[in-house]
Amino acid sequence: MEALSLIEYNSRIKRLLFDPSVQSCWVTAETSDVRVSRGHCYLELIQKNDSGATVARLGAVIWASTFARLAHYFKSETGKDFSSNMKVMVKLSANFHEQYGLKAVIGDIDPKYTLGDMERIKREILARLQADGIIDMNKQLPWGLVPQRIAVISARGAAGYGDFMKQLHHNDYGLKFYTCLFEAVMQGENCVPSVISALDRVAAAEDKFDCVVIIRGGGSTSDLNSFDNYDLGANIAQFPLPIITGIGHDRDVTVPDMVSKLHVKTPTAAASFLVQCGAAQLERLKQLADAIATISREAIVQSREQLAYFGNFIPMAAMKLIETSRLQLNSYTQSIPMVLNSRLSNERMGLRHAQESIKSAVASAMERHRLQLDSLTDKVQLLSPQNTLNRGYSLTTLNGHVVTSASTINPGDRLETIFKDGKLTSVVE
Amino acid sequence: METQEISKLTYTQAITELEEIVKKMQSPDCSIDNLSQYTARSLELLKVCKAKLTATDEELRKVLDEMSDDKGGA
C-alpha cells in the first residue's frame, strides 16, 4: 500500500475546503482569546451550550488589511473595541494551510448582532435588578443640600480623573470640595471586582461622604461591556450614598449608569453637576441676604414714617388739649359771678333772718330781765330795814354794827337805836 | 427663638434656621424689636453658611486626604 505524505494529505484537505458550503458563510459565535499581533487579529471562536460548556471551537484570524477596516467599523457601530467575550456574527471562510493547519479567515462582521446581544444581556440584568426590587434604590436616595465630601472611584493618573479634579477644585465660585480617591481598575476583566471592592471601602467610611463619583479613567473605551454586570449593578443600586456615574459614553449607557442616582457623560460633567449644586446654594444664600436687606430697609422706612406721623400728631393733640382747657376755663369764669351772687344773696337773707332773731331775742331778754328786776325791787323794798322800821320795829347798833345778841353788849356800851322817824342814843347799865 | 451655638450647626441646620427667620421677618406681625434681633442672627447664619461652602475645613481635608489613594489630591 502506497502511503501519502502528510503534505499531500493536507493538500487534499485544503482542496476539500474550497467547497462553497464552508466558504463565505455567516456564522454566529463568541470571541475568546482575542489578540492583535503585527496588525493581524487572532482569536478563538467558540460556542457554549446552555450550561456554559464549550461545545465547538475554531481558531480564526482577521488579516491586518481587513482588521484595520473592520475594527474601525465595529467600534463606530457598537462603541466598543473588538475584543473577547463578545457574541459576533462573522463571515467565515475555512482555510487550511499545509504547515499551520486549519484557520477560519474572517472577511466581514455584522456589528448589529453584537449590539443586539449586548442589549439583550443588559436588558436581562436590568430585568433581574427590577425583579429583585432594587433597581431604583440609589435613585431614590436624596441629595444632601451641598454634596461637598466626594468619594471618587477611578484610576489614578487617568485623564478623566484629572479632568474631574481640575474642574471640581478650580471652580469659578470658590466652592470648596473634599475628594478622596478609591482607586479601581476601570477596564478589563478585573474591572467589576475592583470597582465593587472600592465601593466596599467607601461604604466602610460612609459617614464621611455625601456622594460617590464613579468615572472611567479615560482613554480606551474597550471592555465597556464588562460594566454590564449584575453584581456591579446590584452593588451600585443598593449603595447607601447617591452615586454619580460617568462610565458609558454618548451612545452607550451601561447598567451602572442606569441604576445610579445620576448618570453623566463625562467626568467633567460630573464635576460641573457638583459645582452647580454648590452654586445653587450660593445663589440661595444671596437671595436670603437680599431679602434680609430689603426687610430691614422697609422696616426703617416704616418706622421713620410712623415717627413723622407721631411728630405731627403731638402738637395737634397739644393744641387741641389747650383749646379744650381754655373753653373749660371760660365756662368756669362765667359761672363764678353767678354762683357768687346767688351765694351772697343767700347769705344776706340768712343775715337778715339772724338780725331779726337777735333783735327779738334781745327784746325778749330785756323784758324778762325788766320783770325780774321789778320783782327783785319789790322784794328789796319789802325786806328793807326802813320798811321794817315802818312796821314799828327798831334797830340797835353798837359802834356802827347792828346788835343781834344781848351777850355782845356790855355795861357802859353806848347803843344807838334807830326808829322810822329818827334815832336815840342810850347807855347800858 | 431657640438659638443653638452657631459654629456647631451643619449647613442644612443653618440654612433651615435662616429660612425660618427670614419667613418670620417677612411676617407683618414682626415687631421692630424682634426684627433687629432676627437680623443679627440671620446675618450670623448667612456668614456660617457661606463659610461652609467656600472656606476650607482643614480638619476634614486632612482626614479625607489620609484615606485617599491619591495623597494630596483631595
Q: How far apart are CA A80 and CA A87, in angstroms?
A: 13
Residue B23, all three cell numbers: 419667613
Q: Is the pLDDT of residue A250 over 50?
A: yes
Residue A191, all three cell numbers: 474591572
Structural domain for B50, as ranges: 6-67
pLDDT in tens, A125-160: 999 999 999 999 999 999 988 899 999 999 888 888
Q: Which of A74, A405, A326 lies closest to A222, judged by CA?
A: A74
Using CB atoms, pick whichever of A165, A176, A303 lies closest to residue B56: A176
Q: Do A281 and B49 lie within an 8 Å CB cutoff?
A: yes
Tell me which H or E stretch contains A35: strand A25-37
Q: Kindly report the nearest CA distance between residue A270 and chain B, in angstroms.
A: 16
- What are the chain B neighbours of A148 within 8 Å (beta carbons)? 53
Q: Is the pLDDT of residue A55 over 50?
A: yes
User: Is B36 inside a domain boundary?
Assistant: yes
Q: How far apart are CA B10 and CA B17, in angstroms?
A: 11
User: Is B72 inside a domain boundary?
Assistant: no
Q: How much is the pTM?
A: 0.63
User: Is B20 inside a domain boundary?
Assistant: yes
CA distances from A363 to A351, A371, A391 (A): 18, 12, 39
Instruction: HSE, CB side, 13 Å, CA atoms: give it for residue A162.
Output: 5
Q: Is the pLDDT of residue A224 over 80?
A: no
Q: How far apart are CA A106 and CA A92, in angstroms?
A: 5
- Provide CB contacts within 8 A for A33, sequence distance 6+: A42, A43, A44, A84
Q: Do B53 and A146 lie within an 8 Å CB cutoff?
A: yes
**CB proximity B74 to A under 8 Å:** yes
**If you average pLDDT over residues A277-284, what whole number do you get?**
94
> Looking at A85-89, A128-132, A243-247, A313-317, which range is the least confident one?
A313-317
pLDDT category, A394, cuts 50, 70, 90?
confident
The DSSP letter of residue A79 is S
pLDDT in tens, B26-71: 888 888 788 888 999 999 999 999 999 998 888 888 888 888 988 7
User: Is B38 inside a domain boundary?
Assistant: yes
- What are the chain A neighbours of B18 within 8 Å (beta carbons)? 288
User: Is B17 inside a domain boundary?
Assistant: yes
Q: How far apart are CA B64 and CA B53, in angstroms?
A: 17
Q: How far apart are CA A33 and CA A115, in angstroms?
A: 20
Please tell me the total count of domains within chain B: 1
To test the contact with chain B by mutation, choose from A199, A202, A285 the residue with the greatest count of B C-beta atoms within 10 A, namely: A285
pLDDT category, A67, cuts 50, 70, 90?
very high
pLDDT in tens, A204-217: 999 999 999 999 85
Instruction: HSE, CB side, 13 Å, CA atoms: give it for residue A127.
Output: 6
**If you average pLDDT over residues A266-288, what whole number do you get?**
94
The helix/strand/coil state of A395 is strand
Q: How far apart are CA A307 and CA A106, in angstroms?
A: 95
Q: Look up the ipTM and state it.
A: 0.87
Residue of B nearest to A284 (CA): B15
Q: Is the pLDDT of residue A222 over 80?
A: no
**If you average pLDDT over residues A73-90, what whole number do you get?**
88
Surface-to-core class of residue A320, CB atoms within 10 Å of its CB (0-12 exposed, 13-18 middle, 19+ buried) = exposed
pLDDT category, A223, cuts 50, 70, 90?
low
- The torsion angles phi and psi of A397, rounded to 5 degrees, stand at -125, 150
Q: Kindly report the nearest CA distance between residue B4 and chain A, in angstroms.
A: 20
**CB proximity B49 to A under 8 Å:** yes
**CB proximity B39 to A under 8 Å:** yes
The predicted structure's pLDDT at residue A156 = 83
pLDDT category, B1, cuts 50, 70, 90?
very low
pLDDT in tens, A2-28: 899 999 999 999 999 999 999 999 999
Q: Do B61 and A288 lie within an 8 Å CB cutoff?
A: no
CB pairs A-B closer than 8 Å: 91
The predicted structure's pLDDT at residue B57 = 87
Using CB atoms, pick whichever of A205, A282, A292 lies closest to residue B39: A292
**CB proximity A285 to B under 8 Å:** yes
User: Is B74 inside a domain boundary?
Assistant: no
Rg (CA), chain A: 72
User: Is B73 inside a domain boundary?
Assistant: no
To test the contact with chain A by mutation, choose from B59, B70, B71 the residue with the greatest count of A C-beta atoms within 10 A, namely: B70
**CB proximity A217 to B under 8 Å:** no
Rg (CA), chain B: 17
Q: Which of A426, A384, A4, A75 lies closest to A221, judged by CA?
A: A75
Identify the residue whose cell numbers are 476539500. A16
Surface-to-core class of residue A175, CB atoms within 10 Å of its CB (0-12 exposed, 13-18 middle, 19+ buried) = buried
Q: Kindly report the nearest CA distance between residue A293 and chain B, in angstroms.
A: 9
User: Is B25 inside a domain boundary?
Assistant: yes
Q: Do B67 and A205 lie within an 8 Å CB cutoff?
A: yes
The predicted structure's pLDDT at residue B73 = 57
The predicted structure's pLDDT at residue B3 = 59
Q: How far apart are CA A18 and CA A21, in angstroms?
A: 8
